[in-house]
Chains A and B, each alone.
Chain A
Amino acid sequence: MKTSYMKLRGSQYLRLRLLLATLSSTPILVEDIRSDSSSPGLRPHEVSFLRLLEKISDDCTVEINDTGTKLRYRPGVLMGGKNLVHDCGLSRAIGYFMEPLIVLGLFGKRPLSIRLKGITNDSKDLSVDTFRTTTLHILKQFGVPIDGLELKIESRGAAPLGGGEVVLGVPIVPNSLTATLWIDEGMVKRIRGVTSSTRVSPQFGNRMIFSARGIFNRLLPDVHIFTDHRSGQSCGRSPGYGISLVAETTTGCLISADMAVSYPKAEEDASMKYDEKLELLPPEDLGTQVASMLLGEIEAGGVVDSSHQGLLFLLCALCPPDVSKVRVGKLTPYSIAVLRNIRDFLGVKFVIKPEAAMNTVILKCVGCGLKNNARTIS
């Protein structure tokens, strides 16, 4: 039997495209993956994500050519399963893998429980703390059962050597998601947060908290930021520290901001001109910066922050054929790409209207009605 492939170019949004291809059972052929680059082909984290897809699904095929510039992917049936283990590698943090995984897990045959190893906090991806406090709660808005939706941080690991371990549990949706009307962002009533620090002085946590609180002091008294300093077995292999902050509103929306710093990879260091040891951003500055980022997100408005727009749109598009309506702040380049890819794979087009009064954007769509098919095939 000959399968027809959807042709795509470049490594852009590969993770998202693989996710959408899997959910919509569309085989894809990706060409020209960094073919002009001085180091062409797929990156280790992309290959690792493909391996992860093979792990959680049955009968999917992945073919990569010798140079890694061409990828052929035929999705299988999502199986889920317990006690799975995946090493995420060290080129991207665990957040990179969890973002698509929490959506894939929902449409599996069995609930997913997977142990992920790698970098828990870095500056490129959402940290595991933000995942636990914010990202998982967005799923609840779409009728995902609360039982079994959890993330345990067993040990932390900063870049570049990682060594962190988390256990992610995702329940399945018995039938489909439920459409949502989610436009009232409410007012911020409290701010919570957690700092993480590994292989540095335990005082770093308090220093970050002190400066972050300084920013919020004039706005809100209800600010609690916890410290999570790891040592011994659970602190990973590299020094690093970070902070994740969440603002909770009166209507239950969660707006987050996070950032972490650590030393870059050794080989990158060598290629740079030989400086004395690189200075990291001091914890005080990091605290101030993340607090400012959070206020920036609050100012932008919307029911989720800018990092979670893509997930929000994706969940809206996967709902049954019902109208979903959400409000976000300014659309980010990534979320625009998500909207385009949703149209290409699922055929769902959003109605996007700017709302002048609050300076936000309102999006409406009719979901594609994705059912949990894996459950019915037995």
Chain B
Amino acid sequence: SKWKESLIARARMRQNINLMQLVYGDSSSKLVNPSRVTEGGSSEDSDDDILVPKAELEKRMAENPDYDDINVDDRSKIVTSQLKDWSSGDYITVIRDRFVTGDWSK
């Protein structure tokens, strides 16, 4: 819901700050996965996870790369599922200054 959005955004900000913790922190203190927070909804859903066909579970793991899986797919290239529509003018202005054709005064 809408009121959660600002909270999630703030939680994400806080996570970003301690990158050392994120990378090297002990794995026992599991990080809350932001994508799961938004999807998960109520905790009752987790009951369904007990009885899931194995193939289904594997499929779910494949879909969600953040899933804590010791047999995660070995690939360095990430798939960006959501791409911005760069043909619209608003986004172009965001990265214009990353090009030599941009505004150099800044």
A interface list, Cβ under 8 A from B: 9-16, 32-34, 36-38, 96, 99, 123-126, 187-189, 214-215, 218-221, 250, 288-289, 291-293, 295-296, 298-299, 301, 306-311, 331-336, 339-340, 343, 349-354, 361
Contact = CB atoms under 8 A, between A and B. Distances in A.
Given A299-B95, A343-B24, 5 more contacts: A10-B69, A219-B95, A295-B86, A306-B78, A334-B76
Residue from B75, B77, B87, B98 whose CB has the most chain A CB atoms within 10 Å: B77
Interface stretch (B2-10, B12-20, B40-48): B12-20
A38 B78 contact: no
A310 B16 CA distance: 19
A292 B78 contact: no
Nearest to A185: B98
A10 B70 contact: yes
Contacts of B105: none
Contacts of A125: 75-77
B54 interface: yes
Nearest to B94: A299
A214 B88 CA distance: 12
5 contacts: A10-B72, A38-B58, A187-B98, A219-B92, A361-B19
B29 interface: no
Interface of B: 16-17, 19-20, 22-24, 54-55, 58, 65-66, 69-72, 74-80, 83-87, 91-92, 94-102
B65 A13 contact: no
Contacts of B79: 123
A354 B17 contact: yes
Nearest to A95: B77
Nearest to B70: A10
B97 to A, nearest CB: 8
Contacts of A12: 69-72, 74
Contacts of A33: 71
Contacts of B80: 293, 296
